Amino acid sequence: MEMDIDSACKPKDEEKAKGKPIAAILVGAPGSGKSTFCENVMRGSSRPWVRVCQDTINNGKSGTKPQCLKSAAASLKEGKSVFIDRCNLDKEQRVDFVNLGGPEVEVHAVVLDLPAKLSISRIVKRTGHEGNLQGGKAAAVVNRMLQNKELPKLSEGFSRITFCRNETDVDAAVKTYTAVGPLDTLPHGCFGQKDPNAKTQLGIMRFLKRLHETNARDSVPSQLTEEKGPCGKTQETVSSSSGMASQKIKVSEDMAPGSISHDESDIPTLAFPSISTVDFQFDLEKASDVIVGKVEEFMDKLGNARLVLVDLTERSKILSLVRAKAAEKKIDSKRFFTFIGDICQLYTKGGLCCNVIANAANWRLKPGGGGVNAAIFNAGGPALEAATKEQARSLLPGNALVVPLPSTSPLYSKEGVTHVIHVLGPNMNPRRPNCLDNDYVKGCKVLEDAYSSLFKGFLSIANTQVKVPRSSGSILSGPSKLEDEISGTKTKTWAPCLQALYNIAMQPEKHNKQVLEASDDVVVLNDIYPKAKQHLLVLARIKGLDTLADARKEHLPLLMTMHEVGLRWVDKFVGEDASLVFRLGYHSVC
């Protein structure tokens, strides 16, 4: 009887919907398969569909959003259904297309929220793309867009949202839309979430691993956390962890695809500009020979450390020259590559984690003068200038000066830079001091010395090992030196960020500003690189539990305690803002 009542009531509402054209807004990064989705549906559907694509809207060429809106409106008015084939990754980009709806138009969203590494792997391989968005440059665009994505929600004005998290979901969505006939309608609501009402998503999240555990499958970066949950709700993260934050990696067109791992925060990395080639006007061909020669010379000494040559512009000739010459010499592209970006904002703007940056300094070691020197001193703030003065007041060509960066410097707190290395190269500009008057025999020798000094300074930092004694303390504790000598293994070392977390876990009373909660078992603090509005770390204080793989049956009480602490903080935050959606998980490797 209830079935009969339902069926009797629904037609009044659904009848109005029958025959309505659909404006289906595709949401997804380049490479997520939006165009393929449209083509597959249109190929088999009996409903008249029109694909509106900004890459081809202007007589087969790239056009504008207003052109897309005009074309979509005209097709809907004719009774045709429309696929809006644009990225539409934030609410602002979608709102005008949502407004195309009304009493006579159904507005849907089809979200192709596939793993970033899949989209990037597709985009670096594809050729002949109608919008010419392909290769390494496009990969950088994908990663940048995904960092700011905002998943759609029904409150924006959608009657139906379909979330596709993998290729199986996409295939199912294609079948669903292909089967919609001219007079058919689809149920309203959100489809594809695991649990749209859950405040906490539980599971083990794989965040970071050390370089020696990286293999070919990790060659393309992936987005490991999402800042938006189902239907666009803000998704926060409370990570029960040994203390490492996940990283966002920008793939530049100057990186060989797959040249960097997505888990890189503990890899010692030096980012350096081309020395002497801008204001000092050194010949680019000769400079590139020196750079590649010195990099090749230091490769065997780097270990797991990396060197990154940085420039601001895609049109950089020095990057092109160095990249080509490094490839000829078969230099390992995982340990040396070029990168497009601001050397002062490599992490916050590009997702590249560098603990050391080089400054193309002047001989007075003073701020100003324009270029890289002015930018780095400005970004480093008064703390960098004061620390530099403590080390030296001047610098001779061919030399470098390592300056530990105080924690009060914005470069330290925002970018994770622990050291700045000032380096001075040769000058070929007659308007600058110590001009060599085009003496490239001497000039190349000075430039070689400059890069040697720079790389040696970096190695002195990278090779500094922080030995953590074994004790009854943190999850970060490693084996003692005596135990290492007996077992024949090396003493465990930790990156500066891990060491800092170890110190907090061991002596939380000395870090009152960072610690939110402390007990005999755990310490709770805010993640220094938050991936969400509320992103906490729960650090275990027990020896021998260095990774999730170390967890044994006897550790269950500790894990349950960590879990309970996380849930308690979730309850606190949800009590303050009921719209928040949380995810709780463990770092699988530290």
Asked if 426 and 442 count as a contact pair (C-beta separation under 8 A), the reply is: yes
What pairing do the DSSP bridges indicate for beta strands 269-272 and 81-85? unpaired
Q: Where are the beta strands (DSSP E) in 315-399?
A: 336-340, 356-360
Minimum mean pLDDT range among 359-363, 392-396, 526-530:
526-530
Q: What is the DSSP letter of 463?
A: T
| 96-129 pLDDT per residue, tens | 999 988 888 999 999 998 887 787 777 766 555 4
Q: Confidence class of residue 499 from pLDDT cuts 50, 70 and 90?
A: low
| Tokens (6 digits) for 579 | 């719209």
What pairing do the DSSP bridges indicate for beta strands 515-518 and 522-526? antiparallel
Tell me the C-alpha distance between 132 and 85, whole Å.
15
Total Cβ atoms within 10 A of residue 60: 9
Residue 140's pLDDT is 61
Tell me the C-alpha distance between 421 and 290, whole Å.
19
**Does residue 211 carry a pLDDT above 60?**
no
Q: Confidence class of residue 529 from pLDDT cuts 50, 70 and 90?
A: low
**Does residue 172 carry a pLDDT above 90?**
yes
| Tokens (6 digits) for 428 | 């070929």
**Does residue 168 carry a pLDDT above 50?**
yes
| 7-27 pLDDT per residue, tens | 333 344 444 445 789 999 999
| Tokens (6 digits) for 71 | 């074309």
Residue 557's pLDDT is 84
Which carries the bigger pLDDT value, residue 439 or residue 469? 439
Please name the residue that has the structure tokens 């010949």. Answer: 283
Mean pLDDT within 235-244? 35
Q: Show the domains of the chain with their CATH numbers.
A: 22-191 (3.40.50.300), 269-465 (3.40.220), 496-576 (3.30.428.10)
